[in-house]
Amino acid sequence: MKPGALLPVTPYAWISSNPMPPRQSSGTFFWLILIAAFIGGGLPVAIRIGVEALNALGFSCARFVIAVVGLVPLVLLSGRTLRSQLRLSPVLLGAALANCGNVIFFAFGVARTSPVLSQILYLLSPPLICLVEWLFMHEHIRRIQVYGIVLATLGAGLSIYARLSGHLAGEPLGILLVALAVLSYSGYPLLSRHARERYDPLLQTFTMSCITAVVLAAVATLTGQTTISSARALVEGSSTVALWRFLAAAAYAGILGGAVYYLCIQRIVRMASAFSASTVLYLQPATAVFWAWLVDGTLPSPLLVGGGVVSIFGAWMTSRRG
């Protein structure tokens, strides 16, 4: 889009148009961070319900198939401009494969280590992305953002510590697989950043979801974790309540945790940077408290609430752009 050109007015302009003026950007993408973190906090609950009924790869595949179905109406309503971009590029393929790696490595790794240790490893992703952007992409990192990283890491660490109910040990293979998942997760926003000037956030999310669904289906088939047979057994052997609980979890993980979550991430990358998108990880341990209370009736401890407040303030500091 040429400088000074009017922004397109579409029903989904907040996810598809060019970035908003700088004076509005900081507040806007901070709210997008909060929305993504709130959705991401509920993903472990939804995935736990889904994996108990199916299997890790099968449910992950179903999640992104549902995301594709949810994104199709937006793609059809997007107009000729978006549809004219529907061609695969190495950058889009790389970003999609990075997301596939995150899902696959985590699915196999979390079973061999503790969930708390996995969360701690994922906290390494934002500083890693920040370092890569600073060293190789010439991204300017302001001092207040560095302070925000420290505060957000501290708050997320407090939230995780407050939920600690076991040891942090894990098999070396499990730790390695989760570490590979973290690296893959870090690669997704970095590669998406390269495509943000050429490709629409909706297009990137739709392409990523399609490729992820296809790759996960292939891996699930090769490893014997097929979805169709597991789904048939679920329908035939589950009670009505359990079936509706599973369907609700699948809808949440696919529509909100697949389509909306990644649209927010892509929009944050477009408006700010890959590092800004990764700060969602700092807030997810705190927002998970709400979902644990809603689903399991677990009341948060004062330490957990305090950690959440510190995380939110730190994430707000990282969103300051001057």
84's enclosing H/E stretch is none
- H or E element, residue 281: helix 280-296
User: 108 or 81, which is more confident?
Assistant: 108
- 3-state class of 128 per DSSP? helix
Comparing C-alpha atoms, which of 10, 233, 160, 194 is closest to residue 90? 194
pLDDT value at position 4?
38
- pLDDT at 57 (0 to 100): 84
CA distances from 158 to 258, 259, 263, 309 (A): 27, 30, 29, 10
pLDDT of residue 65: 93
What pLDDT, on a 0 to 100 scale, did the predictor assign at position 252? Answer: 93
226: pLDDT strictly greater than 80: no
Give the per-residue pLDDT at 195. 78
C-alpha–C-alpha distance, residues 299 and 301, integer Å:
7
Domain residue spans of the chain: 21-318
Q: Tell me: the pLDDT tens digits for 291-311?
A: 777 776 666 677 777 887 888
Residue-level pLDDT at 98: 92
Q: Rounded mean pLDDT of 102-119?
A: 77
**Residues sharing a CB contact under 8 Å with residue 192, sequence separation 6 or more, in sequence order:** 95, 204, 265, 266, 269, 274, 277
The residue-averaged pLDDT of 29-58 equals 83
Task: Using a pLDDT cut of 90, give the percent of the chain over it.
Answer: 12
pLDDT in tens, 188-211: 888 888 877 777 888 888 888 999
And the tokens for 70? 């949810």
